[in-house]
A and B are shown apart, each in its own frame.
Chain A
Amino acid sequence: MKEFLEGSRAVAEIVKLCKPGVISAYPITPQTHIVEELAKMVADGELNAQFVNVESEHSAASVVLGAVATGVRAFTATSSQGLLYMAEVLFNISGLRLPLVMTCANRAISAPINIWNDQQDSVSLRDSGWIQLYAENNQEAADLHLVGYRLSEDKSIMLPVMVCMDGFILTHGMETIDIPKQEEVNKFLPGYRPLYKLDPAEPLTMGLLADPDYYLETRFAIQETFKDVLKMIPKINEEFKNHFGRDYKDGLVEEYCTKDAEKVIVAMGSVCGTIKEVVDAQRAKGKKVGLLKIISYRPFPYARVYDVLKDVPRVAVLDKAVSPGAYAPLAVEIKATFFGKKKCPKVISSFVAGLGGRDITLESVKEIFGKLTQKEVSLEFIDLKPELLKEEYGE
């Protein structure tokens, strides 16, 4: 049924329909509303789950790790500093091959203190062994949780999924969302049946010592499974379309006006909506521009990206995160896609924008298309305020 909901509320509603048995979280802006809503649902008896209050994100992640290890579907959500504080446990969850879905309400990292949106938090955890899916709008954010549980709990996958949605822009944004019925969700997402679980009747150990004779193979196995994830995401999205009617194609990327494009911006998350507006406006003027939206950042869909961009002369990559001292994170992947390939864009320029909540406007996006010339831009920050930089250095 179509409803007018805040993004956080929509996520809580969809998580409720996924019927997790254990929810544990520690509040942090802009994620708080999600678990507040879930806590209320549990307290009101609408959701039969244990809501475990904890003293930190490290404990929240540990509680859901333990819950899934005993064979129960679980949920948590966090953001920014909270995600970083969870980091140690997140590697354990993927290393233990435990299926879990977590929402990351994307937000900047301190210092200086900044509560606003960018994607530095989740991007910094790209190597944690979690599948990372990025939402453009709140419908996608909600739907990715359904896809996420199916994917995560598939016996051939058994890896955790992080659903990344831009903090405030989506979490605090209210829009029209179609929330499915419980029966429909039940058909798409059956109850969790673990392959193995912690059970006093049949004791086993998980995550025991793997010495140099064994550890390498555990990492190889995860690497191999990520190849299967690339095949599984399109399959699950096909089923999703048949169940709920919304078509995310292969669910790895979204192509927008890329077919004959001469200039394409590659980006992730809510900024893709703003880019689509600019693409439409420029197309109306006869300019051949497009957008490639990355939904699955981990695993990274190199083959799909290659197919979409191989004949595009000029590509701009827009990152909402940085890797100080190196190329921007998403730009690295796009460049890596084409090294040594027969066909490739003549120019792959890299732009960073929107850090710490700096608004990415239509003008910002137009500027990126404008700067996408024959001369490659190795890394440029958009919407910098030069006057602030002058003050800092006392010029």
Chain B
Amino acid sequence: MKEIRIHARAGQGAITTAALLGYAYFLKGMYPYAFPNFGAARMGAPMNAFVRVDTKLVRLRSQIYEPDYVIVVDATLMRGFNCFSGLKEDGIAIINEKEGANIPKVKTKQKIFIVPATDIAIKTIGRPLGNTALIGAFAAATGELDLDTLLEVIKKRFTGKAQEGNIQAVKQGYEYIKSLH
């Protein structure tokens, strides 16, 4: 079983991120459970979305406290609380780059990848929604999902211009990480 915790603010598309990742796992024949946890029910409030995935139906219904992977959609959240709380010893974090963000020190085996996802999104989609770039980066950084599956997900989820833009965003997020190696 793998667990992903996404940190964002309400309205930044964290649920979509979880849904897209979940769908990608589903296409690979896995059993994902993607779910949100709302804070105060208003735009901008900190919230989480989660993906728990296994080779059989997921039964555990609690939130995720010891994630294998963390995705931080909005780095300003790291001012308020510890987005890395409970991250596994060899866990991986993907952070949307933000000037002046406090990137914490992590344990030896943990890895942090900082991705200019908002910049990628503005270039490719025309809006500052870095989710799809982050998904591409997640796939490359973790090896959990391959690029083709993600592109298939984007093609099913988006149409027209949004599809074209998001395909580019996924690819650029993916390639950004690959270029670091």
Interface string of B31-47 (1 = CB under 8 A from A): 11111111001000000
B35 touches A176 (CB 8 A): no
User: By the criterion CB–CB under 8 Å, are B41 and A360 in contact?
Assistant: no
* Smallest CB separation, B150 vs chain A (Å): 14
A4-B26, A169-B35, A176-B26 as given contacts; A274 in contact with B61, CB under 8 Å: yes
Shortest distance in angstroms between A172's beta carbon and chain B's nearest beta carbon? 6
A101–B33 CA distance with the chains assembled, in angstroms:
26
Interface residues of A in 142-183 (CB under 8 A from B): 166, 168-169, 172-176
Q: How far is the CB of A373 from chain B (nearest CB, A)?
A: 24
B62: Cβ under 8 A from any A Cβ: yes
Task: Give the segment of B52-60, B75-83, B110-118 that binds chain A.
Answer: B52-60
A4, A166, A172: the one within 8 Å of B23 (CB): A4
Please give, as numbers and ranges, the residues of chain A lying within 8 Å of B35 by CB-CB distance.
168-169, 172-174
Residue numbers in A under 8 Å from B36 (CB-CB): 168, 172
Beta-carbon nearest neighbor of B60 in chain A: A277
User: Is A10 positioned at the interface, with any CB of B under 8 Å from its CB?
Assistant: no
Q: Is A362 an interface residue (CB 8 A)?
A: yes
For the A-B complex, the count of residue pairs with Cβ-Cβ distances under 8 Å equals 67
**A29-B31 in contact (CB<8A):** no
B19 beta carbon closer than 8 Å to chain A: yes
Summarize B's interface: helix, strand, loop or mixed: mixed
State the Cβ distance, A113 to closest chain B Cβ, in Å: 9
CB distance from A227 to the nearest CB of B (A): 33
Cβ of B165 within 8 Å of any chain A Cβ, yes or no, is no
Residues of A with C-beta under 8 A to B61 = 166, 169, 173, 270-271, 273-274, 360
What separation, in Å, do the CA atoms of A276 and B35 have in the docked complex? 19
Q: Verify B34–A277 contact, CB threshold 8 A.
A: no
Please determine whether A174 and B59 come into contact, CB atoms closer than 8 angstroms: no
Please name all residues of chain B whose beta carbon is closer than 8 Å to the beta carbon of A274 when the two chains form the complex. Answer: 59-62
Q: Which chain A residue shows the least CB distance to B58?
A: A175
Answer yes or no: A115 CB below 8 A from chain B CBs: yes
Q: Which of A4, A271, A273, A359 contacts B63 (CB 8 A)?
A: A359
Min distance, Cβ B20 to any Cβ of chain A, angstroms: 10
23 A/B residue pairs, CB under 8 Å, sorted by A: A4-B22, A29-B41, A166-B61, A168-B36, A168-B37, A169-B35, A169-B61, A172-B15, A172-B35, A173-B34, A173-B61, A174-B19, A174-B33, A175-B22, A175-B31, A175-B33, A175-B34, A175-B57, A176-B31, A176-B32, A273-B61, A274-B62, A360-B61
